[in-house]
Structure 1
């Protein structure tokens, strides 16, 4: 399994995390989404993860994502 971590700005509550989880979970290959709202991090696990699609899903949820950092 591959794991990616993103720094996301604008998250402030569980509702924010739920919206991101919903969008990111729809990306092909995603099997796990773990969000730390306080740290502003989104961890995504799965197989053959497409960075462009993952970033687009976070943006679609209404948040800004920085470059992925190693997980």
Structure 2
């Protein structure tokens, strides 16, 4: 992934939901630079989710829609 694509992902982490912004800011500061190419692709997919769904999944109120997202959601939760 190019630096321009990574900058775009950083921009997309700015959400309309304050709680989600806080979680994603912590994740970006602690884990983003260590993500593999495949994890970055999955993260890009996750950032397409609606804020309310994303927040519910991060909090465990809603199931992760596909197993391929589980490991990254766990990383986001741990941040």
TM-score interval for Structure 1 and Structure 2 normalised by the shorter chain? 0.3 to 0.5
TM-score (norm 2): 0.35
Question: Which structure has the larger Rg over C-alpha atoms?
Answer: 2
TM-score (norm 1): 0.37
